[in-house]
């Protein structure tokens, strides 16, 4: 994934889009459909591109992305930085904190 130009996700429904976060952790930006889950895991024009769920819209976004080196560099850098918000250690700590408050 780290050698990919981008990850393309054309799912019509996702829970969170973990594959997007995993790709971001390797500096790979995402181009995704604007659907539940994916719109939550991609910040449009920041960590990737969110497009209307249409093959034509998706292909147009891919071509534009591949031709714009400045955009690729920006999204890749931002995707990597944003992915650092997530991690198993942080998730475990936060989960324990919630359990202690409700327990």
pLDDT digits (tens, 9 = 90+) for 40-85: 999 999 999 999 999 999 999 999 999 999 999 999 999 999 998 8
Closest by CA position to 31, among listed 86, 41, 13: 41
CATH code assigned at 75: 3.40.50.2000
Residue 2 lies in a domain: no
**Model confidence at 10, in pLDDT bands (50, 70, 90)?**
very high
Give the pLDDT score at 97: 87
Residue 1 lies in a domain: no
- What's the number of domains the chain is made of? 1
Residue 65 lies in a domain: yes
Q: Is the distance from CB of 7 to CB of 28 less than 8 angstroms?
A: yes
Condensed to tens digits (0 to 9), the pLDDT of residues 75-99 reads 999 999 999 887 777 767 877 888 8
Residue 51 lies in a domain: yes
Give the pLDDT score at 6: 97
Residue 33: alpha-carbon gap to chain centroid? 11
How far is Cα 85 from Cα 4, in angstroms, rounded to an integer?
22
- pTM value? 0.84
Which helix (H) or strand (E) covers residue 89, if one does? helix 88-102
- The whole domain housing 39 covers 7-102
């Amino acid at each position: 994934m780290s050698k990919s130009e981008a990850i393309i996700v054309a799912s019509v429904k996702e829970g969170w889009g973990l594959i997007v976060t995993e790709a971001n952790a390797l500096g790979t930006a995402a181009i995704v459909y604007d659907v539940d889950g994916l719109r939550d895991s991609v910040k449009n024009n920041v960590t990737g591109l969110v497009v209307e769920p249409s093959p034509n819209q998706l292909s147009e976004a891919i071509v534009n992305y591949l031709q714009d080196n400045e955009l690729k560099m920006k999204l890749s850098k931002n995707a990597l930085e944003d992915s650092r918000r997530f991690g198993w250690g942080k998730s475990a700590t936060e989960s324990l904190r919630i359990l202690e408050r409700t327990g």
